[in-house]
Amino acid sequence: MFKLIGFIAGYYFFGFFGALLGLFIGSFLDRIRVYGAGAINPLQNMARQAVFLETLFIVMGKLAKVDGQVSQLEIDHVEQFMLKLGMSAGHRADAINWFKMGADPAFDIAPACRRFMDTCGNTKNLKQVLLVYLIVLAFADGHFHPAEEVLLTDIAARLGYGEAAFRQLLERVLNQSHFAGGEASAADALEDAYKALGVTGESTDAEIKRAYRKLISQYHPDKLIGQGMPEDMIKVATEQAKEIQLAYDLIKKRREM
């Protein structure tokens, strides 16, 4: 869109060389529009991918161990996660080593978080996706240990989230998880659906649609890849988008009745 406008405007005002300049600027703006500001320099993507995965598994290890022991449910969750990613033997070995490193009580995650922010800090979607995965892991055994909650709050702060913003994200993710694998059937499913989108029963249809579109856009494959998410992880992000879709579909269905 911007590319075409830039080309036409540049040619109209400055001729052939103006058209080339307009095409370049338009392409630059189109990339920001589709992928977000964090994708301005695509050469950083490989670095982002490496740092994202390393940080994710290090902090997963810290989170799994923070309550005193790594539960079998948490181990199973991480195993399933790696299986979904289709990791090669080498990448799987790296992930296990990072997880064990983070699980060491003496290991300080602060440098890892700083490195993540230095490399991925201007990509809002990657920061949020990292937190979402950690929340899902913490809840793998069906409840939050107080130590897990304290650690998650600390990690969120290191990623630039205030406590109120983190609490809002936490509530959304926990309610979205109720729709994993299909539409929730509990009597309070509608209330869960509203919370999953961060809205209420008093919200208008337009407000609910805006909230839904904003959440879905955060898991758009092109946007996540453009910001540096490893392509293997896109299918995991897609599962989160499906939960949001199911919550929105339930709200629409109930409101049309």
Structural domains counted in the chain: 2
Predicted local confidence at residue 122, as pLDDT: 79
3-state secondary structure of 141: coil
Q: Please check whether residues 189 and 96 belong to one and the same domain.
A: yes
Range of the domain at 8: 2-35
Predicted local confidence at residue 33, as pLDDT: 47
> Which one is predicted more confidently, 6 or 81?
81
The per-residue pLDDT for range 113-122, each reduced to its tens digit, is: 999 999 888 7
What is the Cα–Cα distance from 6 to 29, expressed in whole angstroms?
Answer: 10
Q: Please check whether residues 19 and 57 belong to one and the same domain.
A: no
Q: Which of 2, 25, 43, 45 minimizes the C-alpha distance to 222?
A: 45
| Alpha helices by DSSP H, 88-188 | 89-103, 110-120, 124-138, 146-158, 163-176
Q: Please check whether residues 6 and 113 belong to one and the same domain.
A: no
What is the Cα–Cα distance from 56 to 172, expressed in whole angstroms?
Answer: 20
The per-residue pLDDT for range 167-191, each reduced to its tens digit, is: 888 888 877 776 665 555 454 687 7
Instruction: Give the rounded percent of residues in the chain with a pLDDT score beyond 70.
Output: 72
Q: Is the pTM of this model over 0.75?
A: no
| pLDDT higher than threshold 90 for residue 195 | no
Predicted local confidence at residue 231, as pLDDT: 65
Task: State which H helix or E strand residue 193 sits in.
Answer: helix 189-197
Q: Please check whether residues 196 and 81 belong to one and the same domain.
A: yes
Q: DSSP code of 198?
A: T
Q: Please check whether residues 88 and 200 belong to one and the same domain.
A: yes
